[in-house]
Amino acid sequence: MPRGVAPRQPARTGRQDKVRIARPRTAPQPQPKQSGGRGARAEAAAPSSRKASVSKTPAAAKASKPGKGFNPIAPERVNEILKRLNALYPDATCALTHASAWELLVATILSAQSTDVNVNRVTPGLFRKYPTVQAFAALTPEQLEPDVRSTGFFRNKSKSIVGAAKKLVAEFGGEVPNDMGTLLSLPGVARKTANVVLGTWFKKAEGVVVDTHVHRISRRLELTTHDEPQKIEQDLIKIIPRDHWILFSHQVIWHGRKLCFARKPKCVDCALEDICHAGDKTWSTVDMHKNAR
């Protein structure tokens, strides 16, 4: 994550500007809902001053009201989510180290079922050893396997990388194409990888990257009810403005790394808390929807 874009942390003093929702002195304070489990109970007991620091605008208030007829993909709610993600992660970008479209393609293939940190440990040495697409194309998958072993699924990944390099050299002059159809014709390249390369390197918004974080958080925020990445992407494309497709994925991926973990998300510190009804929240001031997970 780039420096200076960490989500704002509530002050220890509890004195944060624009944090508290104005209520009459006599009004009852919101009771955090518990999602069960010891950790959740401990977080539920956290003082309200720890609540994430986003002021409540009229749009936010409307977006956070579930009630009857609640529409999770209402434009005002989606806009509020985008607005808060922009405030949290204004400069979010791809965490995979790369210096060319080819390096990004290789890094993205290697990142399947692995972490970006792990991939970034492997790729500098890998690209020093094989500095060009042609150098990869001259290999057999078996020769590449030891170099990518630590990223997991190394046999399939080696096959994909060498296969993609051979095809690029044979048919595209060693250049990574900048259109979805051609990228998808490369071995081991599906929509997620193609979207990463198109969005991050070529700045082309052809779709939305759906990785494990985007999958999980889109479901928690009820932006989709689907489980298959392709269907999730189609849902997101319909409700997110096209000029936000690239940034949205990066922001959600960062949110998944920083707070919205698969297990025990840090809802108490989350700026989306009052508009998130996820069924597996660890701390909540709003209704939780059991299927939103």
Min separation Cβ 277 and ligand SF4, Å? 8
Q: Is 69 left (phi over 0), alpha (psi -120 to 50) or beta?
A: left
- Per the annotation, the verdict on 211 as an active-site residue is yes
Say which of 147, 157, 211, 235 is annotated catalytic.
Answer: 211
Residues 205-264 that bind ligand SF4 (CB under 6 A): 220, 259-260
CA-based nearest residue to 238, from 78, 4, 56: 78
287, 76 Cβ separation under 8 angstroms:
no
23 CB-near residues (< 8 Å, 6+ apart): 29
Tokens representing 39 are 């950790």
Asked if 80 touches ligand SF4 (CB under 6 A), the answer is no
Asked if 265 touches ligand SF4 (CB under 6 A), the answer is yes
Min separation Cβ 25 and ligand SF4, Å? 28
DSSP character at residue 177? P
DSSP character at residue 200? I
- Per the annotation, the verdict on 280 as an active-site residue is no
Which of these ranges, 58-66, 159-167, 224-232, 265-273, lies near ligand SF4 under the rule CB under 6 A? 265-273
Residue nearer to ligand SF4 on the CB measure, 98 or 277:
277
Which of these ranges, 86-94, 95-103, 227-235, 276-284, lies near ligand SF4 under the rule CB under 6 A? 276-284
Q: Rounded to an integer, what distance in angstroms lies between the CA atom of residue 7 and that of residue 258?
A: 8
Residue nearer to ligand SF4 on the CB measure, 133 or 278:
278
Report the half-sphere exposure of 160 (CA within 13 A, side-chain side).
24
Say which of 147, 192, 269, 274 is annotated catalytic.
Answer: 192
Asked if 44 touches ligand SF4 (CB under 6 A), the answer is no
x/- map, 56-75, ligand SF4, by CB under 6 A: --------------------
The CA-based angle 89-90-94, given to 5 degrees, is 70
Tokens representing 28 are 């009852």
Asked if 267 touches ligand SF4 (CB under 6 A), the answer is yes
Residue 176 identity: V
What amino acid positions are annotated as catalytic residues? Answer: 192, 211
Q: Which residues bind ligand SF4 (CB under 6 A)?
A: 220, 259-260, 265-267, 270, 272-273, 276, 278, 281
